[in-house]
Amino acid sequence: MAAIEKDFRRSVVYQIYVKSFCDSDGDGVGDLPGITGKLDYLARLGVDYLWLTPFYPSPQRDGGYDISDYRAVDPVYGTMDDFDELVAQAHKREIGIMLDMVLCHTSCDHEWFQRALAGDERYRAYYILRDGRGSSGPGDPGQPPTNWDCAFGGSAWKWEPRLGKWYLHLHDVSQPDLDWTNPEVREACADVVRFWKERGVDGFRFDVVNLISKPEVFEDDLSGQGRSLFADGPHVHEYLRELVARAGIDGMMTVGEMASTTLENCVRYTRPEDHELSMSFSFHHLKVDYAAGKKWELAEPDIGQLRSIFRTWQEGMQAGGGWNALFWDNHDQPRAVTRFGGRAGVGERGGSWERVGKMLAVCDFLMKGTPYVYQGDELGMVNPGYDSIEQFRDVESRNYYQIMLEMGKGPAEALHVVNERSRDNGRTPMQWSSAPAAGFTSGEPWIGIPASARLVNAEAEVGVEGSMFEFYRSLVKLRHASDVIATGEVRFLDAGEEAPKVIAYERTLGDERLVVACSFADAPCRLADLGVEKYEVVLGNYDDAPAPGALRPYEAVVWRS
């Protein structure tokens, strides 16, 4: 089956969290036929690629990112025939399919790890196994080999008596890390990618791929580096080039999720001449509301810091010849509309909900890079605001709720933090209608439906002038049609001392100039002279024209020379 080939600079990617998109059989879990049934909706939106989160067999300890078989479809999501039909139907609509490749770790249920547990030396060498510190000999675990913490809390090491070793898991304890120093592991991973390419897949997203190369020497983290200690390791670029070449995916649409990465490394990951990836996800801009840099400590978003991060990454990637993936939301993030002030008037015209949602879309879509729409962004979906920790399903959220209680926080305070930070905020079912279960399923959904679904849903927005959906649709069209947005230079502008919460930038190509100004403030502000007095207004998120030299609360305006 011929792959879809599109210019990634002009493309828009739509991320689908398969478990929560559309349930076709009433079991409360989204599935592949459900996606196929919604392809006309996605074609109407105008997106070019669909990135599907893992639908492979999995014990679901980490939402499917704990994979027990890389070459199959979990029966809860359908069959391989269902997958082939999805690819065929998407291609008929000129939409490409991108798959999530989780090659940093497997599930402990994977055949490779099970064979390691059974004593097979070949497969023991697939994983990172170490003796404990202070061990007196075989059978005595001693202490973990290092003081490293895993992403979900607690030690990154697990003693396994059947191995007689500690195994490394940088994520959940059920996700042992693969040892990429082993050439056989690297070939096995390339073979997985080839398998799906040969089934007609058009692109790939690589999960935490900058963690595949570990430090040369395993030592304690004494400087508080955390995940930065493992990121962008000594052989990561070599391994990526090898993977791309062996799998035969050079030139395909590819993106890497880069944890705790650096600008310099992301330039190298994405420069065409280095033959690694098309683009990279980095997450620095989504930590501007972390108090003291800690995810589970809340703070108001620091818009000055946000502006600085965007400028550094936009202008820095441009200077180095790299390419950004542009996004606010994904399956691991709270909803940006809630996060950046859109808590009022949810589902109603004119509330901060609408202003913030459209402003964020403008800010993101018109930068230099490839925009990613996470399912529900185009509707303005918000955090659900659950009443109990029992309503959460995410292993990280449940773990940190307990950690916060142990640190002395009360249940109400801990629940508030989880409601603001949980990955489940982005995993609630897609809101198709105001019907029971938001039209997602005819059964009992695997996770609770937000109350906002009554007003915020596709049925209420598709084809409705001025709706969030139609606003996103207009942005996709603009992205496709505009050379200056696709390939022009980017430069950030000074919005002035009276506009501390405004992010402004220009895109230029030849004689054409596009100026974008987005206010993250809940009050009006005055703008410095951006040189747009004779420009036409191309787009805005208010129904009437902007006032000269000023922005209203959460206003976004795009001017063109």
List residues with catalytic annotation. 207, 257
- For residues 6 and 26, give the distance between their C-alpha atoms in angstroms, rounded to a whole number: 35
* Neighbouring residues of 405: CB distance < 8 A, sequence distance ≥ 6: 411, 414
- For residues 175 and 292, give the distance between their C-alpha atoms in angstroms, rounded to a whole number: 29
- For residues 505 and 507, give the distance between their C-alpha atoms in angstroms, rounded to a whole number: 7
Do residues 332 and 426 make contact, with C-beta atoms less than 8 angstroms apart?
yes
- For residues 485 and 506, give the distance between their C-alpha atoms in angstroms, rounded to a whole number: 10
Where b means 16+ CB within 10 Å and e means fewer, 350-369 reads: ebbbbbbbbbbbbbbbbbbb
Longest dimension (CA), the chain: 79
- For residues 561 and 551, give the distance between their C-alpha atoms in angstroms, rounded to a whole number: 19
Phi, psi of 166 (to 5 degrees): -90, 140
Q: Please give the torsion angle defined by the CA atoms of residues 250, 255, 259 and 261, in that order, rounded to the nearest 10 degrees.
A: 60
**129 token code pair:** 């196994």
- For residues 243 and 246, give the distance between their C-alpha atoms in angstroms, rounded to a whole number: 5
* Neighbouring residues of 78: CB distance < 8 A, sequence distance ≥ 6: 31, 32, 33, 55
Hey, which residues does 491 pair with through a beta bridge?
506
Do residues 239 and 213 make contact, with C-beta atoms less than 8 angstroms apart?
yes
**266 token code pair:** 């992301």
Q: Which amino acid is present at 432?
A: W
552 DSSP assignment: -
Which of these, 268, 371, 340, lies nearest to 518 by C-alpha position?
A: 340
Phi, psi of 536 (to 5 degrees): -90, 150
